[in-house]
């Protein structure tokens, strides 16, 4: 067991010993899990027929004002778990038929995740490992995941520094997200959107925000300029005002249908493959773009 861990996993580079009682930006120490379950609400080739084996980690390296999981990400709801405990959760999910192990917001626990995956694989875990990430990670942290993570489900939230500063308080997010996504692609390549079940590759997710459609257009443009149409995109329309968003007039409303359709149309013009949500923005009904 580690006796100390000076943390510089994300671009905040807090440089604090998390095991000494000090806390950095994310307020995390040892891994904490809010829940683990079979989840059917991911993209179809991730959830498949049996579901994705999902572990929801507590805390976060960002502070998005609209976070829909804010009790977990911002208030730290969850219980501490050991490396062996994490591995055993993975076994349980595999036995239940999960198509993959889906690590949700595990960015600030990467060293423990790596050891848990090694433990699980040495004891018979055979399904792919998926990192469901905000993409706010240092390159060296991503490098440590080579041979550990098979699938990156990477958010690209904001394109402009001013928007990132306004919505999550971290103006540097776009810079680091671009670097991280590029490195993820180098490690695993692009996922195949036509696969029944994806076992390897990068998918880029983007949540469309009301009043910030230009961010969506710029992000789609960057993806196209960087990868062409090789990397599939998941365009999410499930936004609703939560957490601090209810106090911010610009984002204190749901996304309207025409806003969402405009972003989908832009993705279609570029020729992307990937997934969208139905007219009710039901996360359990992600449909293919093309």
Q: Is residue 262 part of a domain?
A: yes
Q: Is residue 11 part of a domain?
A: no
How many separate domains does the chain show?
1
Dihedral angle computed from the Cα positions of residues 160, 61, 249 and 214, in that order, rounded to the nearest 10 degrees: 20
Contact status, residue 268 vs residue 240, Cβ threshold 8 Å: no
Q: Is residue 118 part of a domain?
A: yes
Tens of pLDDT, residue by residue over 241-279, are 999 999 999 999 999 999 999 999 999 999 999 999 876
Q: Is residue 9 part of a domain?
A: no
Q: Is residue 19 part of a domain?
A: no
What are the strands, taking DSSP E only, across 108-159? Answer: 129-133, 151-155
Query: What is the Cα–Cα distance from 70 to 78, expressed in whole angstroms?
Result: 12
| Residue found under tokens 């050891």 | 115
Tell me the mean pLDDT in the region 143-153: 98
For the cut 60, the answer to whether the pLDDT of residue 206 exceeds it is yes
Q: What is the mean pLDDT of the chain?
A: 95
Query: What is the Cα–Cα distance from 33 to 104, expressed in whole angstroms?
Result: 10
Query: What is the Cα–Cα distance from 109 to 144, expressed in whole angstroms?
Result: 12
Dig out the tokens for 123 from the structure. Answer: 């004891």
For the cut 80, the answer to whether the pLDDT of residue 75 exceeds it is yes
pLDDT band at 2 (very low <50, low <70, confident <90, very high): low
Q: What percent of the chain has pLDDT over 70?
A: 95
pLDDT at 255: 95
What CATH number did the domain enclosing 126 receive?
3.20.20.70
pLDDT at 4: 80
Domain containing 188 equals 24-288
């Amino acid at each position: 067991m580690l006796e100390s861990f000076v943390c510089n996993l994300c671009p905040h580079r807090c440089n604090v010993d998390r095991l000494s009682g000090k806390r950095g930006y994310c307020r995390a120490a040892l891994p904490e899990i809010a829940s683990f379950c079979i989840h059917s609400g991911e993209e179809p080739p991730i959830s498949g027929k049996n579901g994705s084996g999902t572990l929801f980690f507590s805390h976060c390296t960002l502070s998005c004002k609209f976070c829909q999981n804010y009790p977990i990400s911002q208030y730290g709801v969850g219980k501490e778990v050991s490396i062996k405990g994490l591995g055993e959760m993975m076994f349980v999910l595999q036995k239940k038929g999960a198509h993959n192990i889906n690590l949700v917001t595990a960015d600030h626990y990467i060293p423990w995740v790596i050891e848990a995956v090694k433990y699980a694989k040495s004891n018979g875990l055979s399904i792919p490992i998926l990192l469901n990430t905000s993409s706010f990670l240092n390159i060296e942290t991503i490098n440590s995941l080579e041979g550990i993570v098979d699938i990156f489900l990477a958010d690209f939230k904001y394109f402009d520094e001013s928007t990132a500063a306004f919505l999550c308080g971290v103006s540097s997010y776009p810079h680091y997200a671009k670097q991280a996504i590029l490195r993820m692609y180098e490690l695993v390549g692009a996922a195949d959107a036509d696969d029944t079940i994806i076992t390897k590759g990068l998918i880029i997710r983007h949540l469309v925000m009301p009043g910030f459609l230009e961010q969506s257009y710029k992000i789609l443009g960057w993806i196209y300029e960087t990868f062409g149409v090789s990397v599939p995109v998941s365009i999410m329309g499930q936004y609703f005002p939560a957490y601090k968003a209810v106090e911010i007039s610009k984002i204190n409303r749901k996304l309207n249908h025409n806003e969402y359709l405009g972003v989908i149309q832009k993705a279609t013009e570029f020729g992307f493959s990937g997934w969208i949500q139905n007219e009710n923005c039901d996360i359990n009904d992600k449909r293919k773009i093309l």
